[in-house]
Amino acid sequence: MGLFTGLRHSISRVTDRLFSEQEPKRIGIYGPPNAGKTTLANRIARDWTGDAIGKESHIPHETRRARRKEGVEIERNGKSVTIDIVDTPGVTTKVDYEEFTDEMDKDDAIRRSREATEGVAEAMHWLREDVDGVIYVLDSAEDPITQVNTMLIGIIESRDLPVLIFANKIDLEESSVKRIEDAFPQHETVPLSAKEGDNMDEVYENIAEYFG
């Protein structure tokens, strides 16, 4: 028993050292367009580093390049994790520039749609190659059972990446966290409003616990 305990402690020390010397885990923030990914990324980055990551907008596809905020150290209840936050463009299977023409002229709308398609491809590449875990953000006021959500969760699961589902926009009247819990019962769902800063304590507890 003594030998076993000693061996266990030795292994524990080795793994502790390995993990402490590891580079920060890259946590990709994924989800459909307009779920509030950049608002969440900015909220986390501001709370723990003082800086924002990117511009937020109500127009879909405001984020058209993946952006990384390095070395964000999150501490909760004695647990600490240092992560790189990767804010990714919203994933979709279609982009129509006419979606943007109410907000801008045609040339700008076409440019935005081109950049959006490049951004989606980039997000998929990051997911396959470069992230160690995923925060999947959903607008809790919308139906979560969409093809994009089903496919992306399937892709994340097939790569055995740890994933937390964040049910965002709980400040909206139509919000239903249960609808998301029922759609993806195999994953932990955390309710929040990134815009209002609601339930961020639980958000950070989950990040520290799950990715730490």
Partner 1 sequence: MAEATKTGDDGVQIDLISGQRMDELTTMEKIRLILDGVHDGNIVILEEGLTPDEESKLIEVTMGEISPDEFNGIEIETYPRSETRSSSLLGRLMGGEEPTAKLTVIGPANQIETLHKDESLISALVSRN
- Please give the structure tokens belonging to residue 15: 């793994």
Q: Which of 151, 178, 196, 201 binds partner 1 (CB under 8 A)?
A: 151
> Closest distance between partner 1 and the C-beta of residue 109, in Å?
9
- 18, burial (CB in 10 Å: exposed 0-12, middle 13-18, buried 19+): exposed
Q: Which of 18, 20, 93, 174 binds partner 1 (CB under 8 A)?
A: 93
Q: How far apart are CA 212 and CA 209, in angstroms?
A: 5
> Closest distance between partner 1 and the C-beta of residue 42, in Å?
25
Question: Which of residues 5 and 186 has its CB atom nearest to partner 1 in the complex?
Answer: 186
Q: Which of 29, 95, 164, 194 binds partner 1 (CB under 8 A)?
A: 95
> Closest distance between partner 1 and the C-beta of residue 13, in Å?
29
Q: Which of 128, 130, 178, 201 binds partner 1 (CB under 8 A)?
A: 128
- Please provide the distance, in angstroms rounded to a whole number, between the alpha carbons at the two ends of the chain: 30
Q: Which of 86, 127, 131, 208 binds partner 1 (CB under 8 A)?
A: 127
* Contacts to partner 1 by CB under 8 A: 91-97, 110, 113-114, 117-118, 120-121, 124-125, 127-128, 145, 147, 150-151, 154-155, 157-160, 183, 185-186
